[in-house]
Amino acid sequence: MVLYHARCTAWRDLPAPLERLRDHGDTAVALFYVLSGFILTHTYHGHDGRVAEPKAFWWARVARVWPLYAAAWLVCFAQRTLAGGAPTAHLQGVIASATLTQAWTPLTVFGWNTPGWSISVEATFYLLFPFLLPLVSARRRWGWWAVAVWLTGLAGLALGRALAWDWRLWDFDPWHRVVDYNPLFRLPEF
């Protein structure tokens, strides 16, 4: 991930295999989500297929993630403000980044703490985890149908992106941001 995020300023001329690894470093985020879902399921899966104490689970996640995220957010906020950015000009992005909800809309996904989008997605997973674990554990038939419908929709959007259908509504491609960064589209990785 470090190589991927620093590819514009450092490590520009690497041997070809390392360049390919660097240029596809964003796939490490998907690996992080898979690993996170596996470890949380292994750790919190009770005998009845439920998280024993959802409130304790949520507080443990907040205590683990929020302090470092808040520090990073403050650094990004200070850096952008000192560089001449006006927080009030992008208040929606500032608030979304501060509340870990920036990944939910294409306009705020890169907010004031750009790499924080992945933590925003992870926060959504943490919020949903106590509700999703029983569904996955029970393997209920309706749950699998819901997943199949959802995957079909995702495949349609991915096909549209692959065929370069022009779904732009503004001067940027919001569907690219929705498919790549929205928590609902990243949920199967978790």
Which pLDDT tens digit goes with each residue over 24-73? 766 778 888 888 988 898 888 776 777 778 899 999 999 999 999 999 88
Q: Residue 114 in contact with residue 80, Cβ under 8 Å?
A: no
* pLDDT over threshold 80, residue 100: yes
What tokens were used for 164? Answer: 């370069």
SS3 content of the chain, % helix, strand, coil (to 5): 70, 0, 25
Fill in the DSSP letter of residue 10: S
- Burial letters for 6-39: b for 16+ Cβ neighbours within 10 Å, e otherwise? eeeeeeeeeeeeeeeebeebeeebeebbeebbee
Per-residue pLDDT, 45? 79
Per-residue pLDDT, 65? 92
CA distance 145 to 7: 41
* pLDDT over threshold 70, residue 128: yes
Per-residue pLDDT, 170? 46
